[in-house]
Chains A and B, each alone.
Chain A
Amino acid sequence: MKFKAMDKKTIPGVFHNNTFIGLVLIAVMFLFGLTVNHNFLSPKSLENIFTNASLLAFASLGQTLVIISGGVDMSIASCISFGAVASALIMKGSNANIPQALLVLVITGLLVGVVNALGIIYANIAPLVMTLAVSNVLNVIQLIICNGSPTGSLAPAVGFLGKYKLVSVLSMITFLLIIAAIFVYFGLKHNNYAKQLFAVGNNRNAALLAGINVNKVIVITYIISAILGCLTGMLLLGYVNFPYINMGASYGMLTVAAVVIGGASFAGGKGNFLGTIIGSLVLVNLSNILVAIQLNDAVKNVINGLVLLMILVFYTREKAIRQ
């Protein structure tokens, strides 16, 4: 009982609000970033932070839904990598090829989502393990379609989405995210699927007894997650300008961390997209600070792992047996 201080009743309520904690963290990081680098809050740097956070938030949107349903999707990273490489290969720098690229991405997302869900539902494999295994397969497929070295280039329209700046700190990607956030906010409130999703995440048996087709909800959730991952890959390509192998690899962990910082529960049934956006901002800030103090990839890996571990210790502890 050493951790009694963590008990809900002993801490004022506002500290249990993840949005509040997230905002405080962002403020602290801004201040810390300023001390490290005087240009940390310049419009150019802010625009960079917002755009990167928006990309992460797009990738994490599907993860939010999956975690609300009580699972976790580790195949998003490979979907992003595949999406970027495949769309560059298909678009070949021409706007006329965008529909085909979109079609391929959606079909791939559909397949990945269905395979994930089938393994989880029928073979009873833990979601984390199943989606990791599927992501390995998709990574190899990514290598196969481009034979090891990505070719092709992005269409001008995708480049416009990825790089155009509306106002000094507001890029097109951030603008798209704001629209998506408004859409998701109202969608998650007044939508049959959303209600069923939360019910499934809260208590699967109760949802089943209430007549919800639980398996259908889970399949749809994983499909949405995979398709969004593939489309984020296209957007990332627009932002980065050229494809390379395993482009989205770093997003895998970050999406999970963003969702959990945003206040979702790994047990399911809890979470919202606004929190995920704030979580994305926190993580992008953190990685920008790590870049500002010039750490190499290995140290970044260590710090990412430590941060995730800390988040887990704070948010996902199970009850003791004697309780």
Chain B
Amino acid sequence: MHTLMIRVENKMKKSQAYSAYIMLLLLVIINLLIQGAGFANVSTINSLFLVNTPLILATIAQAVVIFCGGIDLSIGATISVVNAFAITAGQYMPVPLAWAGAFLIAVLLGAVKGSIAAYLRVPAILATFAISTLLEGVALLILPNPGGSIPSSIYSVYGGVFAGFIPISALVIAVVLIGYGIVNRRPLGAQIKAAGANPRSLFIAGVSVERTKMKAYVASGIITGIAGLCLTALASSGDPKIGNALSLNSIAATILGGVDLSGGWGTVGGAAAGALFLGIVNNIIFFVFNNIIHSSTFAGIKLSYLQQLLTNIIIILGLSSSLLTHLKKRTEKEEKDK
């Protein structure tokens, strides 16, 4: 048992997302201390995953793009479009068809972003920012006002539990992680990271940098599509602005997960851990505000505003945690140099 723990610890230390896993572990312990053992039952864990699956998937999608040296500020708006389309089209055609269409739109948008960033060589951060404005408008065009509904069976499946203790939403995340894990074991995984870390070397090695980046953006589009459908299943209704905040949140979560914004460094598992970290922080804030402060205002300020403020400040702190990643990267480089 002892040797096994040491082996696990060594493997984790080698991981590029070491800091993310440690931070997540500490936070879970803190959460257990605050909320008591009641936190560790099936329904609480299920609702934690249920609520955070869209963010976790959006973060994985963001991480894949960041690996290849890009960034996607339009993930949130893409998710809004997916949600708006799935709800609106669901009124005119069979729901599975509408959802498949919404998913395809996300994949297509991934390809569009990829071609603008890779083939037209517009800096990804600016291009996706412009696309995000565009898509926010498109979502409003598809669904001008919040509303609509989905068959309740979808929600009950998404909110369900598999084999008594595994949330279905966690299974979705696992499938995505395993899927990208398979990609990562193949040459493409290394190529995507090389496109971010050292595109010139990749080019000299005879691999098309543009095509590699394109594949990364399409992969990200696929994951974004799944995230959008999960969010639709969670909300059970449409809102043209539903995902907009996810762009920035996913970047903060990616950085928290030990992924380097300059590309070529990090793991999708770390990114998911970073997103879960943000989710649990919000969970703690929510718990404290609802169970410890027993009024709707605090020092004359509406609690909902205070909650928003805290969440936004935590995102800035999350962004600042890139310092940790740089530290880890440097120590690893020094060890290699020895």
- Contacts between the two chains (Cβ within 8 Å), count: 137
Chain A interface (Cβ < 8 Å from any Cβ of B): 3, 115, 119, 122-126, 128-130, 132-134, 136-137, 140-141, 143-144, 147-148, 253, 266, 297-306, 308-309, 312-313, 316-322
Would A301 and B137 be within 8 Å (CB), given that A119-B319, A148-B302, A313-B122 are in contact? yes
**B290 close to A (CB within 8 Å):** no
14 residue pairs from A and B, CB less than 8 Å apart: A3-B120, A115-B316, A124-B261, A129-B71, A129-B73, A136-B312, A143-B305, A144-B306, A297-B137, A297-B140, A298-B137, A302-B138, A318-B123, A319-B121
Chain B interface (Cβ < 8 Å from any Cβ of A): 71, 73, 116, 120-123, 125-127, 129-138, 140-141, 144, 199-200, 203, 209, 248, 251-252, 255, 261, 300-302, 305-306, 308-309, 312-313, 315-316, 319-320, 322-323, 326
- Complex Cα distance, B315 from A115, in Å, reads 14
- Complex Cα distance, B209 from A129, in Å, reads 25
B contact residues around A128 at 8 Å (CB): 73, 125-126, 129
Q: Is the CB of B126 within 8 A of A266?
A: yes
B contact residues around A301 at 8 Å (CB): 133-134, 136-137, 140
B contact residues around A137 at 8 Å (CB): 309, 312-313, 316
- Complex Cα distance, B315 from A136, in Å, reads 10
A contact residues around B320 at 8 Å (CB): 119, 123, 125
Q: Is the CB of A133 within 8 A of B129?
A: no
- Complex Cα distance, B135 from A10, in Å, reads 35
Q: Is the CB of B122 within 8 A of A125?
A: no
Minimum CB–CB distance for B217 against chain A, Å? 16
- Complex Cα distance, B71 from A115, in Å, reads 22
Q: Which residue of A is nearest B133, CB measured?
A: A305
A contact residues around B309 at 8 Å (CB): 137, 140-141, 144
Q: Which residue of A is nearest B209, CB measured?
A: A321
Q: Is the CB of A305 within 8 A of B134?
A: yes
Would A306 and B134 be within 8 Å (CB), given that A126-B125, A132-B248, A143-B305 are in contact? yes
Minimum CB–CB distance for A113 against chain B, Å? 15
A contact residues around B316 at 8 Å (CB): 115, 119, 130, 133-134, 137
Q: Is the CB of B71 within 8 A of A126?
A: yes
Of the residues A123, A303, A304, contact of B319 by C-beta under 8 Å: A123
Ranked nearest first, the 3 interchain pairs of A and B with the lowest CB-CB distance are A305-B134, A301-B137, A298-B140
- Complex Cα distance, B199 from A115, in Å, reads 33
Minimum CB–CB distance for B8 against chain A, Å? 31
